[in-house]
Structure 1
Amino acid sequence: MQAATLEGGFQNAPIAAAAAFRQIMNAMARPGMISTVAGATPPAPLSTAAGVVILTLCDPDTPLYLAPSRDTPEARGWITFHTGAPIASAKDAMFALGAWDELPLDAFAIGTPEYPDRSVTCIVETDALTTIGATLEGPGIKDQAQLSLPEQQAFQRNATLFPVGLDFIFTCGDRLAALPRTTKVS
């Protein structure tokens, strides 16, 4: 377990993190666009893309909720060693990681009108990530885009909360896509 904890981070952290940050922000700015990311080799059951997101966005000041299937000693050790992010309860988290059906969406902070940035970003591990599925409209989308989503109703409800609400990053293997709270789903 010790070797797995120490390995799998970015080889050249400043350059790799900067490149990954740009890819993640491009995904947020262009909902429905799928990007391939690299540079992290987290322990199972975390995907490469989830590892890249965690290494890029999490630090000692960003508590992370781990859903039961992702809350393993290996994952905890890897996250703690590489980011220093504390593992937190759903109500105290700034980021959340897990499969869709494991994430307690109603327990996460959605921000306030004065501080909408005090909401949780959910990293949703999926078995498939394609540009076929729900129709997306809104900022960053020229006309329409499509993305395979685990359901539609939760995202429709989330969009009505704007300016508060949750943001989502979907990961599958080495690929990711994002769905910010401003995106309308049908």
Structure 2
Amino acid sequence: MSMLTARNHTPGFAHPVRDAQRVFRAVMEALARPTTPQRIDPVVAPPEPLGAALGAVILTLCDEQTPVWLDSALRSAPEVEAWIVFHTGARIVDAPADASFAIASSPETAPALSALSRGTDEEPHESATLVIDARACAGIDGLTASGPGIRETRTWDGAGLPDGFLPQWQENRALYPRGVDLILAHEHTVCGLPRTTALTGALQHGLDRRSA
């Protein structure tokens, strides 16, 4: 057995059904309560550079019916692709537009929202979800979120959002019911940003990051 084949069998969830249900509930709650972190405490150790929370989300949401795009850092680590394929059966695709889930190992490597599938008016559920590893990311000054799942407005630091995200998000939200949804995977939590959420308050041409 080759080293890569052996690594295909590194563990996923210790208790697949129970752990997947727990993470699924956290992700759904994160999308139902946008910008409010939901604790997942991932008990999984995927190969680097795939973070534990990001790996837990992938194991929970991806299967043989969900084509997955990986950024260059993840794609260049063969053990990452092998781990995902072995545990989920997902097909890894070359173009972000072909993915149901686009996985970025950092905000800097996330594809533009316009590069992802937005679904159609008849089938908005065919749109993609962007999942970003947001471990140790700095926050952003002056973001305010509003929309379904948020009482009035909520101040949010937006930790894990890519630079220049706000104008992309405003254009994405204007496409409703089409549009991309976003999940930010932190060290022990996930945060959701569904296409129905409005973001205001940061610079239109970019985002002012606080110093780390």
Per the normalisation by structure 1, the TM-score is 0.92
> Quick one: structure 1 residues 66 and 30, their matched pair in 2 at CA, closer, same or farther if it must change by over 3 Å?
same
Matches within 5 A, 1:53-64: 53-64=57-68
Name the residue aligned to 1:185: 199
Count of matched residue positions in the alignment of Structure 1 and Structure 2? 186
**Secondary structure of the equivalent of 1:152?**
helix
Kindly provide the amino acid, as one letter, of the partner of residue 115 in structure 2.
A
Which residue, 99, 106, 111 being the options, matches 1:93? 99
Which residue, 134, 145, 164 being the options, matches 2:143? 134
Q: Distance in 2 between matches of 1:49 and 1:132?
A: 25
Name the residue aligned to 1:113: 121
Q: Distance in 1 between matches of 2:140 and 2:24?
A: 22
Which residue, 11, 24, 30 being the options, matches 2:33? 30
Which residue, 149, 152, 156 being the options, matches 2:166? 152
**Secondary structure of the equivalent of 2:126?**
coil
Q: Distance in 1 between matches of 2:32 and 2:140?
A: 16
**Secondary structure of the equivalent of 2:124?**
coil
**Segment of structure 1 superposing worse, 151-160 or 77-86:** 151-160
C-alpha offsets along residues 36-85 of structure 1, whole Å, 9 cap, x if unaligned?
A: 32122111111111111100000000000001112120110100011010
Alignment check: 8 A CA contact 2:140 2:157 kept: yes
Q: Distance in 1 between matches of 2:185 and 2:176?
A: 24
**Secondary structure of the equivalent of 1:101?**
helix
Q: Distance in 1 between matches of 2:108 and 2:119?
A: 22
Unaligned runs of 5+ in 1: none
**Secondary structure of the equivalent of 2:97?**
helix
Identity of matched residues, %: 37
Q: Distance in 2 between matches of 1:47 and 1:4?
A: 16
Give the ranges of 4+ consecutive aligned residues of structure 1 lying more than 3 Å apart after TM superposition.
Answer: 1-4, 129-133
Kindly provide the amino acid, as one letter, of the partner of residue 109 in structure 1.
S
Matched, 1:163 2:171: no
Larger radius of gyration: 2
> Quick one: structure 1 residues 118 and 94, their matched pair in 2 at CA, closer, same or farther if it must change by over 3 Å?
same
